[in-house]
Structure 1
C-alpha cells in the first residue's frame, strides 16, 4: 500500500506562467520565482507530474509560444520592388473613332504577392483590375486621354505606376458616310406618300432585274 501511495505523495503540481507582455507561456513546478515578477500571470493547471519524471540536470520547465498574439505569429508584410511596364500601347499613339479600340496590356515582375493588385485608370477613372483591358473609342470624345496603371498593396498603398497618353481622332470618312445617310433618310421622310411608293416600286424592279 505504501508503494502505491509513494508516487502520489511525490507528485508536484504544475503551474502555468503567462508573460503579459510577450504572451510567452512557461510551465513550471516552482512558481515562487515568477510570483514576485511583475507582468506574470501564475495559475495552477490540472496536470501533475512526479519529481522523478525528469532526469537529473534536466530543467523542469517547458516553454512554448502557442498563445502568442496573432500579430506576433504572422510574418510582417514585405515591401516588394515591383517592375511595372505597359506593353500596349507601347508609345504615345492615336486611335480612330469609332473603328478602333484601345487595347491595354501590362507586365509586372515579380509576381504579385497575396493581396496586392494592379488597377487600370482612364482619365483618372478606374476601368479594370488586372493586367489587360480594352476600351471602345466610340465611348470617348476626340482628343488626348491618359492611361495609368498602378500596383497597390492590400492596404491601398501605391508601389509602382506607369502612364501613357493616347489620342482619339474622329474617322472623317465614316463620319461623312453617316452624315450622308442621315441626310438621305431625312429627305425620304419628307417625300409625299405616293413618291415613297414609286421609290419602293423602282427598288423592287431593280432587285428583280
Structure 2
C-alpha cells in the first residue's frame, strides 16, 4: 500500500480550505440559497435558482442545473422552488433532535522513550554497583538510588499509552437549536458541512446522507420510539 501524501489532520485542514474557497466562489455569483445542496438527479450537477417574473407580476422560482461544457443541455429538469423548500424542511424535521458535534484533535500519550531511559539507568546502576558504591555506607546509597529508579519505572509503566486521534465531541446543542439561530447562508453551510445532498427531478426526490450521519439519525429515532 502506498504511503499517504497527507496525515489525517493535514488532509482535514486541506479539505477545510478547499471548502472555504468553494463557498466563497459560489456565493460571489449571486445564485442559489441552496447552492451545493440541491442537485439534478439525472446528471448529478448542482441546481441553480432561476426566478421568473410573469406578466401578472407574480414571481416563480425554479431550480435547474446550468449547461456544462461537454454535456448535453439538461432539458425538462426544472424543479419548482417550493418543492426544494419542502424537501429541505422535511430533512430539518428529521434532523431536529440530532446532537451537534465538533471535531477535536486529542494528542497522543507515549512514555516509551522515558521508560527506556529509566530501564537503562537501572541496568547501568546494577552493573556499576561495585565500582560506584565501594565505600562505607555505599550499599545503603545504592539501595536508595535503585529504589528511586524502580519507583519511577513503575510510575511510567502505569501511565496510559494512546495514539493521537480526532474525536467528535457534543456541543450541547441540537440541530434544531443551530438551525433556528442561523441565517440563510449559515443554514446552507450547515447542510454542506453534514454532506447532505438533495437529488431531484420534476417527479422524484431523495436525500443522500453519509452512512455515519444516517446511523446517528436512525439511532436517535429508535431511542425516541422506545422511550
- Fold conserved between structures, TM > 0.5: no
- The structure with the larger Rg is 1
TM-score (norm 1): 0.21
Structure with greater helix share of residues: 2
Structure with greater strand share of residues: 1
TM-score (norm 2): 0.20
Tell me which of the two structures has the higher relative contact order, counting C-alpha pairs closer than 8 angstroms and 6 or more residues apart. Answer: 2
